[in-house]
């Protein structure tokens, strides 16, 4: 196995895939970007070119190639990052395709927000060369990625993955054993869970909680504003996934939160969530 990553393929050029491609190109990795949707590829090219130009790295534009054929995209790469939608069966199918098309040396990682790679690994033969490498967009302003093993991942694979994360200017958040939510998503879940309980229980208003968070952390946005931005349907589904995983009633999101989602008050995108927003025209 090559101990140094030189060429990377990103499978899925959507919201996160294009950002991973951009950051890898910025750090002079050779990047192949593949998507089944050519419009998405064109949009990704626009984003990546704009990003690299803003960073005054015009010479890095040549680092990225765009593909609508997966076999070409993965033909000689050292690492593949899968960033297709969060659907376990789809991820297993894509892993299996990559396994049959990529060279034997290639490490395959998933950017999944929730599935441990141990639930995907049976779709491939190279079970010692799989990883979770999970980013936190916007990657340029949140330079960190969780890294977690599958049940047969070798130490060598883990080390190579960790060094690649460092080499693209990110902090590797090492998950020592399989953990739902990895490192930071797990911490962030704990924060949101308590904020939601305080709001639903009538202990404090959302404005007070957001203000306290902003003063304490020096962040620009509080948890309720951030949930409105992400979309309350997505935020609710994430909280439900922790509840389903633990089965602990304390993890169950408040009924009042569920009611908002059922009413269609989904935050920024619908104009109403925890806060009232001006709808985009
Ligand atoms: N959105 C986030 O904030 C975020 C953060 C961290 C991790 N993730 C994870 O990243 C993954 C992708 O999420 P996203 O938000 O970028 O989704 P997205 O919908 O923006 O992008 C997914 C892309 O995959 C493409 N695609 C679908 N099927 C494909 C296939 N068979 N082969 C190749 N491409 C295919 C789609 O055309 C789309 O462009 C998910 O697993 C998600 O959990 C998302």
* Of 3-7, 48-52, 247-251, 254-258, minimum mean pLDDT range: 3-7
Q: Report, in angstroms and rounded to the nearest whole number, the Rg of the chain calculated over CA atoms.
A: 20
Query: What does pLDDT average to over the chain?
Result: 96
**15 C-beta closer than 6 A to ligand 1:** yes
Give the pLDDT confidence score for residue 280 in this predicted structure: 59
Q: What does the alpha-carbon distance between residue 80 and residue 62 come to, in Å, rounded to a whole number? A: 19
Pocket test for ligand 1, best of 15, 82, 120, 144 (most atoms within 8 A of CB): 15
Q: What does the alpha-carbon distance between residue 108 and residue 110 come to, in Å, rounded to a whole number? A: 7
Residue 43 binned pLDDT confidence (cut-offs 50, 70, 90): very high
Q: Atom 38 in ligand 1: which residue has the minimum CA distance?
A: 14
Distance 110 CA to ligand 1 centre (A): 10
What percent of the chain is predicted at pLDDT more than 70? 98
Pocket test for ligand 1, best of 12, 95, 181 (most atoms within 8 A of CB): 12
Distance 83 CA to ligand 1 centre (A): 5
What's the token pair of residue 58? 């015009």
Token look-up 């054929």 returns 69
The domains located in the chain, with CATH, are: 7-174 (3.40.50.720), 184-270 (1.10.1040.50)
Task: Confirm if 132 and 146 have CB atoms less than 8 A apart.
Answer: yes
Average pLDDT estimate for 25-42? 98
**231 C-beta closer than 6 A to ligand 1:** no
Task: Confirm if 120 and 53 have CB atoms less than 8 A apart.
Answer: no
- pLDDT above 80: residue 235: yes
pLDDT in tens, 245-281: 999 999 999 999 999 999 999 999 999 999 999 865 4
Distance 86 CA to ligand 1 centre (A): 7
């Amino acid at each position: 196995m090559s101990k140094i990553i030189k060429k990377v393929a990103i499978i899925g050029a959507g919201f996160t895939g294009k950002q991973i491609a951009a950051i890898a190109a910025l750090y002079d990795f050779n990047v192949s970007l593949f998507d089944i949707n050519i419009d998405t590829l064109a949009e990704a090219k626009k984003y990546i070119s704009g990003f690299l130009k803003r960073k005054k790295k015009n010479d890095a534009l040549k680092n990225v190639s765009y593909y609508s054929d997966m076999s070409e995209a993965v033909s000689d790469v050292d690492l593949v990052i899968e960033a297709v939608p969060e659907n376990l069966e789809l991820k297993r199918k894509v892993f299996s395709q990559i396994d049959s098309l990529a060279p034997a040396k290639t490490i395959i990682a998933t950017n999944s927000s929730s599935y441990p790679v141990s639930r995907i690994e049976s779709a491939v033969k190279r079970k010692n060369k799989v990883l979770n490498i999970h980013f936190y967009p916007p990657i340029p302003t949140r330079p960190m990625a969780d890294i977690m093993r599958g049940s047969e991942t070798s130490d060598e694979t883990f080390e190579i993955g960790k060094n690649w994360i460092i080499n693209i200017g990110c902090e590797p958040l090492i998950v020592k054993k399989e953990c739902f939510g990895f490192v930071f998503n797990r911490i962030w879940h704990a924060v949101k869970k308590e904020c939601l309980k305080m709001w639903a229980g009538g202990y404090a208003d959302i404005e007070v909680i957001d203000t306290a968070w902003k003063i304490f952390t020096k962040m620009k946005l509080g948890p309720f504003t951030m949930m409105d931005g992400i979309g309350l349907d997505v935020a609710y589904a994430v909280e439900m996934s922790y509840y389903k995983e633990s089965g602990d009633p304390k993890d169950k999101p408040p009924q009042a939160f569920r009611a908002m989602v059922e009413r269609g008050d989904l935050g920024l995108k619908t104009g109403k969530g925890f806060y009232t927003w001006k709808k985009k025209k």
